[in-house]
Amino acid sequence: MPVSSSKNIENLERGIGHSFRNRGLLLEALTHRSFYHENPNKSKNYNERLEFLGDSVLGLVIVEYLFHHDRKFTESMMSKVKSYLVKGVLLSDIANRISLGGYLRLGKGEEDTGGRHKKSLLADAMEAVFGAVYIDGGYETAREVILRLFEERIESVISSGQFHDYKTEFQESCQMLFGTLPEYRVTRQEGEEHSKTFTIEVFIAETLYGRGKGKSKKEAETNAAREALSRLSVNK
């Protein structure tokens, strides 16, 4: 997809939700260092400075949103939700929603190794786009763009409690109360290879404390840890 095409740039701008006054900023946000080094005559900069800026802008927008939220989150809770939301996997999901990978300017090596689909590369480019929007349109514009892309995900994370690190909390509780670490055991696997469901039980010194199911072992362990924490709080 030729980035230089005015029509393609307009399609991307619609996906982002912002029409750039200075499209050079958007071009810079889409330029990976591999393209910059291989094509010095076609690019003045690559996107890492904008990525650094965009990371800070994204963090501020999310914290401000949480600060004014009806649930009145504590500082600790805001920190946990923010940390979860700025992870690369969520940013790459947002990037995929607007087909950002198709617009990236990549060097031959990155192109040949599937750079357009790499989660880390997509996440970095998404942050660079946020940085470019901030420079081009100011904070309020950047805030509008980010919340348009993120607000539904933010509310989903809040309502589901996905941001809570149950495994770490349970591990710390085990060390404090019992002087040992929990042990997770896979007790059941169901379904086809591409759509398995796992059941995992977590033990403290051979005593069963929690059981959880999930589409991945990590999800099942998290659910087991959540149940185990509930049992610990009841027994206190």
Asked about 127 being catalytic, the answer comes back as: yes
**Residue from 28, 51, 55, 124 carrying the catalytic annotation:** 55
Q: Kindly provide the residue ranges of all beta strands, DSSP E only, lying in the chain, ordered along the sequence.
A: 183-190, 197-204, 207-214
DSSP secondary structure letter of residue 83: H
Contact 91, 123 (CB under 8 A): yes
**Residue from 28, 51, 127, 136 carrying the catalytic annotation:** 127
Instruction: In whole angstroms, give the CA distance from residue 15 to residue 64.
Output: 24
Asked about 93 being catalytic, the answer comes back as: no
Contact 148, 61 (CB under 8 A): no
- Helix pair angle (75-85, 139-160), 10° resolution: 100
Catalytic residues: 55, 127
